[in-house]
Every structure is written in structure tokens, then in C-alpha cells.
Amino acid sequence: MLRKTSSLEIARTINTVVFDKTGTLTIGEMQVIDLTFAAHPALKISLSELFTAIHTVEADNSHPVARAITRYLIGQGVSKSSLSDYSQTSGQGVAARVIIGAVELPVLIGTPASILKATFTFPRELQDAIARAEMNGHSISVVAIDGVALATIEVGDTIKPDAEKSIAALKNANMETWLITGDNQSSADEISKLVGISADHVIAQASPEDKVLLIKKLHKDGKKVLMLGDGINDAAALVESDLSMAMGTGTDTAISSADITLLRPTLFAALDAINLSKRTLRTIKGNLLWAFAYNVVGIPIAALGFLDPMYAGAAMAGSSLFVVLNSLRIKVRQTR
């Protein structure tokens, strides 16, 4: 779905494609793989209270990792409490004050790097859980309550079935491919290997600002950049790129920031959009060339009286029919 017709003109010039990971190269339907709890003697919080706090904070978060955590907790029958002072920092996590028992405590859920800034250290159990998740190429969230890291949640995703073939097709079309994600380096490296993006074109633990900086760097190198993303974290980079595409299953922010929304949840749809733009422009130029040549030859002949008006009218209708049929070839090829 096009937001502006100029996207068709721009698409044919694209030579570099930048992918977000979650929800773009992967299905985005994540699942909780493991949950590690490390009790703290100074903080008397039960596992059920911890689950309630997590559910309360993540319930309205649209990030795929948060949605997976919420689905898991709902499946476990975990209820919600009340919260206040909710805030979300793109690429880092969420924070809020939640009533736990009879006390209101600050709860942080986010990446290990962001949570480490708010706590002194991670217990050995959580350090081991983080290492396992990174080795498996999975996302890992750390939960801290009142400044104490209490739990980690390992979440895994599945690569889209057509991801590897789509990347290969882009490379065959002489396009450069990049992966930039807010996830950890191990997760990014694992995904890049599976889909065929070279290791030197992978940027992990990227903030929304880092994504914009990559687009600007590629522009400085003379690249025409297509950005594909689906999350709030991608919105600024989508606006900065020459052409942007958002997955139809993505957030409203990403969709409203993108030039094209892919209604099919496949990466081949992005390649189809680029090829469609090239075919459309070729057809437009062909129609213009035909109309110009026809009129250059036909008008003088008709004006000098060498052509009967009836035949001139038929020739004009035939010319218009040619243009229509030539344009319909785009639709025929698109439906094959």
C-alpha cells in the first residue's frame, strides 16, 4: 500500500536495504523460552508477586518481546496490579511504579545493559541466564525491582520462511544488505548467519539514534537506502531513509512513518514492490514513447489529407487501446 506515488520513482534507484530484526526478518511471534528467578534477602517478594509486577508493566507494551511475555503470563493465569509513572525508552525498556503487596515499588524491565545502569550488579544465576540466551541467539530481558535485579526472561523468535531466499534475491540484484537491531550481538550474529547477511554488515544493541546514524552514513557513501522495520524504534530511521517499508503487522507508528506498507507478511513483498516500480516506470516510458512517435507520424499525415478521417479515428482508438493493454501487462505479470 503506497502513501505517495513518488515511492515508485524512488524504488528503482535503491541499491542498499537495511533490515530491522524482530518482526521484519523474524515472524515477530516470540515465545518465552526460560525464566530465571534470583531471590534477594533484602527484598521479600514472592514469585507470584514478581509475575504480577511484570504483567502489570508489560501488559500495554506493543514490543514483540513484551507481547510474548504478556501472553506467557496470561497463560499462567497471572493477574495485574495497578501502576503509575509508566515510561518507555526506545531500545532500552520500560519502567513504572507498581503496587506489590501493600507497597508501591519501582519496576524496571529492559535489556541487560540498560538495567545494569540502575543496579550494582547481577546475581550469578542471572549472569548465567544472560550468557545462555546470548549464546542461543535469543533476546533477554532483566527485571529489577527497587534497584535489585531479580529475574531474567529469555524470549526466542522464528525466522520468516522466505528470509534467506529474499536476501539472496536482493544480492543477486546487486543490492547491499544490512541488519541493525536493538538485540544483543550474539542474537544478531545468529540471525545474520541464517539469512545470509555478512557479519561486517551487522549492528547490534542499536538505539533508534544509531539506526538513523547508519542511514546517514550510507547516504554519505552515496547509497540509496531502503529501510524495512515494524517497530516504534524504527520510526526515525524509516523517515530518514530514501524509501521505507513497514510490515503490515507492525506498530501504528512504524506504518505511519513508512512510504509503503507491506500487507503480506513476507519479505518477498518488498522485492515485489521494487520490481513493480521498475516495471511500472518502464511501461510509462514505453507508453510515452509510443504516443510521441504515433503523434509525430500521424498528425502530419492526417493534417495533409493523406488519411481518411474515419481511418484516422480508428487509428487513434487503436493507439489508446495499445496504451491500455500495455499497461495491463503489469497486472498480468504481478498475478502470476
Please report the beta strands in the chain, taking only residues with DSSP state E, as ranges in sequence order. 16-19, 31-37, 83-89, 93-100, 103-110, 139-145, 148-156, 176-180, 202-203, 225-229, 243-247, 260-262
Residues marked as catalytic: 20
Contact between 150 and 40 (Cβ < 8 Å): yes
Give me the residues of the chain with pLDDT under 70, please: 1-2, 4-5, 249-250, 265, 330-336
- Inter-residue contact 84 to 96 (CB < 8 Å): yes
Give the closest residue to 285 by CA, choosing from 10, 11, 9, 13.
9
Residue 154 · residue 144 · CB < 8 Å: no
For the domain that residue 141 is a member of, what is the CATH number? Answer: 3.40.1110.10
User: Do 2 and 71 have their domain in common?
Assistant: no
Please choose, from the candidates 18, 63, 23, the residue with its C-alpha nearest in 3D space to the C-alpha of residue 159: 23
Domain boundary among 156, 177, 209: 156
Q: Is 237 exposed, middle or buried (0-12, 13-18, 19+ CB in 10 A)?
A: buried
Assess whether 77 and 126 both reside in one domain: yes
Q: Are residues 183 and 293 in the same domain?
A: yes
What pLDDT was estimated at residue 1?
Answer: 67
121 and 170 belong to one structural domain: no
Q: Among 134, 156, 178, where does a domain finish?
A: 156
Q: How far apart are CA 182 and CA 206, in angstroms?
A: 4
What are the CA-CA distances from residue 315 to residues 281, 301, 307, 319 (Å)? Answer: 25, 12, 10, 6
Report the run of H or E that residue 234 belongs to, with start and end: none
| Residues 35 and 47 grouped into a single domain | yes
pLDDT, tens digit, 9 for 90 and up, residues 112-147: 989 998 887 899 999 999 999 888 778 899 999 988
Number of domains in the chain: 2
Domain, as residue range, for 138? 31-156
- Tell the residue number behind the cell numbers 502530419, with chain if given: 300
Q: Would you say the pTM of this structure is higher than 0.85?
A: no
| Of 156, 178, 204, the domain-final residue | 156
Q: 213 with 290, same domain?
A: yes
Taking the C-alpha atoms of residue 210 and residue 83, their distance in angstroms, rounded to an integer, is: 31
| β 83-89/93-100 pair status | antiparallel
Domain check: are 197 and 172 in the same one? Answer: yes
Q: Nearest CA to 207 among 236, 170, 227, 165?
A: 236
Predicted pLDDT at 330? 64
- The reply to whether 182 and 250 lie within a common domain is yes
DSSP symbol at 2: B
**All cell numbers assigned to 70:** 504478556
202 and 104 part of one domain: no
DSSP class of residue 232?
A: G
Q: Tell which residue, 59, 64, 61, has the closest CA to residue 80.
A: 59
pLDDT at 297: 78
In this structure, are 149 and 212 located in the same domain? no
Query: What pLDDT was estimated at residue 317?
Result: 80
**Co-location of 41 and 99 in the same domain:** yes
Q: What is the pLDDT of residues 13-44, one digit of tens each?
A: 899 999 998 888 988 778 899 999 998 877 78
